[in-house]
Amino acid sequence: MIVGTRRLAVIEPATPFATERAALDALLTERAGAGAEIVAVLVTHHHGDHTGYAFELAQRWGAPIYAHSLTADRVDFPVDVTLADGDRLELDDGYVLRALFTPGHAPGHLVYCEERTGIAYAGDLVAGIGTILIDPADGETCRRTSIRSPAWGRRGRRPSSPPTVL
């Protein structure tokens, strides 16, 4: 997922497939050729299917990796910027991503809510198809997260696995 016009954030570049990585690289190269800059690689949580291409992409573009501190403790690459609940990343043209701490599926899970459009990039908090595993030890935290969720993502929630939930 790419957010921004000239200052770009890439959310969860995790595909293990070379063709999909090449397509993302080509799109970012095109955007950079038009004057855009990749300013952040954002990770929602530590699971490999959400982090798989983050480090390589960040290295290629010289962009910092952002994640929650509990995620930073669990990944095998350096996280440059740790985010807490409510932290904001200002991009451009009114695009602002706000981090929402949503533990349950993973201890350091973050949702990124784009404030202008109201779209929430939900990682594994919301499933388009299927279910999300919640560790029973995190059940109370997950319940509190679900109570708060109507306040964000008013225009839609983008789970990591399609379809978009509107």
- The pLDDT value recorded for residue 51 is 87
Neighbouring CB atoms inside 10 A of 103's CB total 21
The pTM for the full model equals 0.80
Distance CA 65, CA 40 (A): 6
Q: Is a pLDDT exceeding 90 seen at residue 1?
A: no
Residue 159 pLDDT exceeds 60: no
| Residue bearing the bigger pLDDT, 44 or 132 | 44
At a CB cut-off of 8 Å and minimum separation 6, what does 101 contact?
Answer: 68, 84, 85, 109, 110
pLDDT value of position 132: 55
pLDDT band at 31 (very low <50, low <70, confident <90, very high): very high
